[in-house]
Chain A
Amino acid sequence: MIWLLVAVFLAICITIALLRVLLGPTVPDRIVGLDTVNTIVVVSMVILGAAFEEVLLIDVGIVYALLSFVTTLFIAKYIEKGAF
């Protein structure tokens, strides 16, 4: 159905957001791009799970959302204090 087309479109969105991660002038700019990429990857996992009717991919998306949240918090703490 249309789910694979949506997944390809989200991959294009991820590529555009990755350009901000590569170009970003300051460190928080890169982290904002990374946060957007993380969100779109989780949605892509849900869409792919609907496309292939595979529940395992959605479980991977849930775990990825929680782990990327922890990663974002640690990077924010690092750029706030300069050390952990």
Chain B
Amino acid sequence: MALDITTYAFVAMGCFFNFMATIGLHRFPDFYTRLHAGTKCSTFGSIFLVLAVMIHSLRAWVIGGITSPQSVLCMHAFIALIALLMTNPTGAHAIARAGHRSGIKPALAVIDDLEGEP
């Protein structure tokens, strides 16, 4: 029962943050703030959705024993979470650096302190 409530809460949090990421892509004015919304919120929501899947399959693993198919599902979901956590911030950093070096200014910006730096 408690595990059910935890699973539903994690699913709700994950769906909320992923939806906020897609809304933020449309509401923010320039490239850097869109990157902030789209990357951080979707990473945070993805953590909770994968954790919900892991809790759901971990319970079937404990009930069904080590030979149940849910054990493989739980471990592979964990590996997918690790891959997502390692690749997503790195890609966001690469996009932000490339955007700055290709000369995009933030909206309403007057002074760029990093201008001319490599």
Residues of A whose CB lies within 8 Å of any CB of B are 2, 6, 9-10, 13-14, 16-17, 19-20, 26-29, 31-33, 35-36, 39-40, 42-43, 45-47, 49-50, 53, 55, 58-59, 61-62, 65-66, 68-69, 72-73, 76-77, 79-80
Contact of A73 among B21, B56, B91, B101 (CB under 8 A): B91
Interface bin, chain B: 35 or more
A32 CA / B76 CA spacing, docked (Å):
27
A46 CA / B57 CA spacing, docked (Å):
12
The answer to whether B99 touches A79 (Cβ under 8 A) is yes
The answer to whether A65 touches B98 (Cβ under 8 A) is no
The 7 closest A-B pairs by CB, nearest first: A69-B87, A80-B98, A76-B98, A28-B99, A72-B91, A76-B94, A36-B38
Contacts of B83 in A (CB 8 A): 42, 62, 65-66
B67 at the interface (CB under 8 A from A): no
The answer to whether B25 touches A79 (Cβ under 8 A) is no
9 pairs across A/B with beta carbons < 8 Å?
Answer: A9-B15, A13-B21, A20-B25, A32-B38, A36-B21, A39-B42, A42-B80, A55-B76, A65-B80
Q: Is chain B's binding surface mostly helix, strand, loop or mixed? A: helix
Contacts of A20 in B (CB 8 A): 25-26, 34
Contacts of A58 in B (CB 8 A): 73, 76-77, 80
A36 CA / B53 CA spacing, docked (Å):
20
The answer to whether B46 touches A49 (Cβ under 8 A) is no
A81 CA / B97 CA spacing, docked (Å):
11
The answer to whether B76 touches A33 (Cβ under 8 A) is no
